[in-house]
Amino acid sequence: MPISLKYNQTAVTYRETAVGQSTIKKAYTVFLASFACHIQPLDSTLAQSLPGSFGKQWMMFCPVADIKEGDKVLVGGTDEYRVVGVETYNFSFNPHMEISLKAFRE
């Protein structure tokens, strides 16, 4: 059974880009407008994902796409996460990505 049949949510990714001609100032802008995914809790306890940063983590399963660490993911228009890990599996009949997420607020 293809893993894509389990995708039951829709997400948007944002990536930091330079503001105007600035080489310092950056802002998040839409990168991938919409894609199907499935997100589930990775662990019920707090964990450290970024140096000095603790929080609960989730795992997102989605089609293979240009998603990188540091991107922001907005799921269902309300839940915001930061990408802290990316694994791509391009084999067999089930190519997909497994992305580690952490809660994120600007």
What's the predicted TM-score (pTM) here?
Answer: 0.82
pLDDT of residue 46: 66
pLDDT of residue 65: 94
* Average pLDDT rounded to a whole number, residues 2-30: 87
Nearest to 58 by CA among 12, 99, 5: 99
pLDDT of residue 44: 67
pLDDT of residue 62: 95
Contact, 55 vs 102, CB < 8 A? yes
User: What confidence tens digit (pLDDT) does each residue in 32-88 have?
Assistant: 999 999 999 887 666 665 566 667 789 999 999 999 999 999 998 888 999 999 999
pLDDT of residue 17: 87
Residues 6 or more apart whose CB falls under 8 angstroms from that of 79 comprise 39
Contact, 36 vs 64, CB < 8 A? no
pLDDT of residue 4: 83
